[in-house]
A and B are shown apart, each in its own frame.
Chain A
Amino acid sequence: MAIIVNLDVMMAKRKISSNELAEKIGITPANLSVLKTGKAKAVRFSTLEKLCEVLACQPGDILEYRDGE
């Protein structure tokens, strides 16, 4: 998919574990794993909002468009 999820990069920058992030944004660790591994087909605005809030970043820091992938 042309949309790349850089969630693991942001998590490493903020030094936050998957379980802790999942708990803070209110989703299951399994769903967070789906998002991290790029298997997700859609992200709700509410989830994105919480991710940006917890990781103190912008949507563009988490999602990236790469041509031809």
Chain B
Amino acid sequence: MWNKDKSIILSAVIIKMIYAAIAVCCVAAPFLVRYYDESVVIPRGESSVFLPLLVTLYCIVPPAVTAMVSLDMLLANIRKGQPFISRNVTLLRIISYCCFAVSVLFIYFSFLKPFGFAIVFAAAFFGVILRVVKNCFEQAVALREENDLTV
């Protein structure tokens, strides 16, 4: 039977898988970008995007890792039964800033390849959604504190 504990475990497993995917991408990025460049970009007669794409990918690693660590900490707090604490509001704020950072970092690449715009838009969109969720959590923290201090 599916329950909230299993759901949290599934989220934790997905986070660990994304950690592994980031690590693999860090090692394999030059090969993957070279493959994309040689098999998709150059055959079309377009100029190589190897360097800008590789630099962009390595630049988004710090915000991606920061977002994943924050997400892991958020999930750990939820597992401890503390979803509505001010620390979680800070973590959500950090994750939203990471999304905005990815969006900004992809702006240059989006001028080279149109699909970059999709990444810029998607990252900014996630950032905005997370900010709204953060605002909800902020209200929830205030309500919980008021409830805790009602005798």
By a beta-carbon cutoff of 8 Å, the part of chain A in contact with chain B is 27, 31-32, 34-35, 39-44, 47
By a beta-carbon cutoff of 8 Å, the part of chain B in contact with chain A is 145-146, 149-151
Q: Cβ of B146: which chain A residues have Cβ within 8 Å of it?
A: 41-42
Complex CA distance for A47 and B151, rounded to whole angstroms = 7
Complex CA distance for A31 and B146, rounded to whole angstroms = 13
Task: Report B142 CB to chain A, min CB distance, Å.
Answer: 10
Q: Cβ of B151: which chain A residues have Cβ within 8 Å of it?
A: 27, 31-32, 34-35, 40, 42-44, 47
Q: Cβ of B145: which chain A residues have Cβ within 8 Å of it?
A: 41
Complex CA distance for A41 and B149, rounded to whole angstroms = 5
Complex CA distance for A47 and B149, rounded to whole angstroms = 13
